[in-house]
Amino acid sequence: MTPEPASVSEHARSAGLKPETVRIAVTLPTFRRPDHLTMTLDSLQAQGLGSETAIIVMENDADGLEGARAAADWLQSSHVKVIVIVAHNRGNCHAYNAGWDKALAEFPKLTHIAVIDDDEIAGPGWLSGLMKTGQKTGADIVGGPQVPVFADKSLDGWRRHPVFTPHYLTTGPVPILYSSGNVLISRPVLDMMPRPFLDPAFNFIGGGDSDFYRRAKARGFSFAWSAEAAVMETLMSRRAEFSWLNARSLRNGAISSILEKRQWPGMPGRVRTFAKSLALLAAAPWRGLRLGLQTGSAVIGLYHIQVALGRLMEEFGLVNEQYRNPESN
């Protein structure tokens, strides 16, 4: 990977911020959700953060700047220390990289970076839960559940869909993580991993976090899960629509294929990945039938078929860039 263009600017910062006292940076990417961003910041303030913790808000809409302005207004009346930056290059990987680079450059005694998204609310004891699990297990990277909360409560039944369910249920060491929406990363990981941390090739399809974790695992870093460190993810009604669920499931399949090809490069790897895709497609109807019976939903039962099809579509260059048009996501 080549370095990203230096296209980051600082928009605002809290008065009295003392960088030398900060050991934990909570990085918060945002894109056109100013109202919910404020709610996320409120939930972080409720954590009882002290002077050893600061928040970095990464605005990724350099034209609108709604999130940057909302965060700048919010920090005026908060005791929590905040830096607001603008990642001028569009894409979630650019936003994450900008925040992580800023934290490392700004805070000389930094030990950890935490991540929460601007459509999430931190539960009570969120950050302390991640830290405690990391200390107890010795894991380098700790993740926690993103609990789906539909704005329309009548849609709560869709929480059983695999795109919303957590990968793990109990606290302790795990083989690997998959999402960056609720995670704690230790300083040694950031010092050893090459930059940019998240590959911009994944900017609009997602999966940059999974790719980062795979590369971190290959370097010997360990993972854990903190079931107590939950965030609540606010979901709009469109995420219960078939079109969105189908697009996300196909995308998940495509990402898994891309990551496997990176893990197994060359023609033998492509053949291996394609063979696995065919095997998954063959098994998908039976797996889907079982899932549909378990959840009582034929739509949910389609998930394994959609993932297998997404893998095969990727072989022909058909990958859904679900983040390209945020209004439909």
Its pTM stands at 0.94
Q: Which residue in 162, 170, 107 sits closest to 288, CA to CA? A: 162
Q: pLDDT tens digit string along 37-59?
A: 999 999 999 999 999 999 999 99
Q: What's the mean pLDDT in 228-243?
A: 95
Q: Percent of the chain at pLDDT above 70?
A: 97
Domain topology for 8-237: Spore Coat Polysaccharide Biosynthesis Protein SpsA; Chain A (3.90.550)
pLDDT-based confidence at 114, cuts 50/70/90?
very high
Q: What is the DSSP letter of 174?
A: E
Is residue 142 within 8 Å of 225, Cβ to Cβ?
yes
Domain boundaries, the chain: 8-237, 242-328
103 vs 84: CA distance, rounded Å = 11
Q: How far apart are the first and last CA of the chain?
A: 28
Confidence label for 2 from pLDDT (cuts 50, 70 and 90): very low
Residue 327 is predicted with a pLDDT of 65
Q: Report the pLDDT value the prediction gives residue 284, as an integer from 0 to 100.
A: 95
Q: What is the per-residue pLDDT across 74-98, written as a single tens digit (0 to 9) for each? A: 999 999 999 999 999 999 999 999 9
* Exposure letters 290-306 (e unless 16+ CB within 10 A, then b): ebbeebebeebbbbbbb
Mean pLDDT check: name the lowest of 1-5, 71-75, 319-323: 1-5
Question: Whose CA is closest to 259, among 269, 249, 246?
Answer: 269
Instruction: Output the pLDDT for position 143.
Output: 98
CA distances to 14, 41, 190, 242 from 55, rounded to whole Å, are 10, 9, 17, 36
pLDDT score recorded for residue 328:
65
